[in-house]
Structures are given as structure tokens and as C-alpha cells.
Amino acid sequence: MNRTLPPSRTPLSRAGRGRRLAALGSALLLLLGAYLAILAPPADAADALLSQGLPVTASSTESVAFPASAAVDGNAGTRWSSAFSDPQWLRVDLGVSATVSRVVLRWEAAYARAFTIETSPTGTDTWTTIHTTTAGTGGVQNLAVTGTGRFVRVNTTQRATQYGVSLWEL
């Protein structure tokens, strides 16, 4: 007597069992991903880079090879370098008044030991200091600040080296 099993009770081949296990594993991963997505805290949006490509002026430049515009061009291989004296400044025109919550300075080896970060509505007479230090470290300085203004200025008052001050990016 030959007995035929219903399709749901037919023994699976190794390939069939492998496919079922893969499908089950995929379903479990999808469920785990959905569970983690629901429980995960919302990600904070990255701060917008306000300075890139905007009009910039400086108190001086070492030479035409190191213009002020190089500090806001988004190119990590170009830089602004000042004359070899104190004080020096770099000023960015944001175009409109903006809230400034972070200033990132990417110094070249010639950095400022003492400097202020300032904002202004006009870029001329009225400047509000939003950060000050006399212990600048060079390298990348990621400064949490609170300020508002159309213009942002890095105002250096003491160089750390015999050279000018030099920023890869502001």
C-alpha cells in the first residue's frame, strides 16, 4: 500500500529546508529592524555649514596664494594665511542674520593662541563676543557658541608661532 502525504506534510529536501531557514532569518531581521527603529531616539540634524562659499574678508593675507576665500571654500587643501603680525581677523558675511551655534576652526600649524569669535549685524562697528580664549590649541577646534548676526569674525590677538595665523576652514 502506497501512502501519499499531503503537500504540507511532505519531507523537505536540504535545499528546501535551507530556503525556509533563510526566509525565517530574513523575517526575523526585518522584525528586529522595525523594533529598533521604533525604539531608537530621533537623530539630531547636522548643523548647517553657513560659511561655505560666502563673501569673506581678512585684515591681511600672506600672499595671493592664501586668500581669505580659501577658508570658506569647502576644500580642505586650501587655506587663508595672514601677515606675520598681531592682530589679524577673518570676517564672513552670512548674507542674512543667522543663529550661530557652533564655530569649527581647522587651523594649519600656524594657529592663534588668543582669539575671539564675534558676531555683528553690520560687520563694522558693533561686535558681540560669543567666544574668547587665551589658550588656543590649534588643530580642529569645535566651539559651541550662542550668538546671532549677519557677520561672524575670528579676531586673533596672539599668534602661537612666528608665522601669521592660518585657517584651512572656518
Q: Is residue 134 part of a domain?
A: yes
Q: What is the mean pLDDT of residues 93-103?
A: 96
Q: Give residue 115's domain range.
A: 56-169
Q: Is residue 76 part of a domain?
A: yes
pLDDT confidence of residue 42: 45
Q: Is residue 35 part of a domain?
A: no
- Give per-residue pLDDT as tens, 49-93: 678 989 999 999 999 999 999 999 999 999 999 999 999 999 999
Answer yes or no: are the C-beta atoms of 86 and 65 closer than 8 Å: no
- Give per-residue pLDDT as tens, 110-150: 999 999 999 999 998 899 999 999 999 999 999 999 999 99
Q: Is the pLDDT higher at 34 or at 100?
A: 100
pLDDT confidence of 27, banded at 50, 70, 90?
low
pLDDT confidence of residue 16: 65
Q: Is the pLDDT higher at 13 or at 10?
A: 13
Q: Is residue 29 part of a domain?
A: no
Which CATH number covers residue 165?
A: 2.60.120.260
Alpha helices (H) in the chain, listed in sequence order = 14-39
Q: Based on the structure, what is the number of domains in the chain?
A: 1
Q: Is residue 31 part of a domain?
A: no
Lowest average pLDDT, out of 17-21, 89-93, 154-158, goes to 17-21
Answer yes or no: are the C-beta atoms of 128 and 115 closer than 8 Å: no
Q: Is residue 22 part of a domain?
A: no
pLDDT confidence of residue 133: 98
Percent of the chain surpassing pLDDT 70: 72
What does the block give as the cell for 170? 572656518
Q: What is the mean pLDDT of residues 14-40?
A: 56
d(CA 57, CA 90): 6
Answer yes or no: are the C-beta atoms of 93 and 56 closer than 8 Å: yes
Q: Is residue 2 part of a domain?
A: no
Asked if residue 165 has pLDDT above 80, the reply is: yes
Q: What is the mean pLDDT of residues 32-57?
A: 62
Q: Is residue 23 part of a domain?
A: no
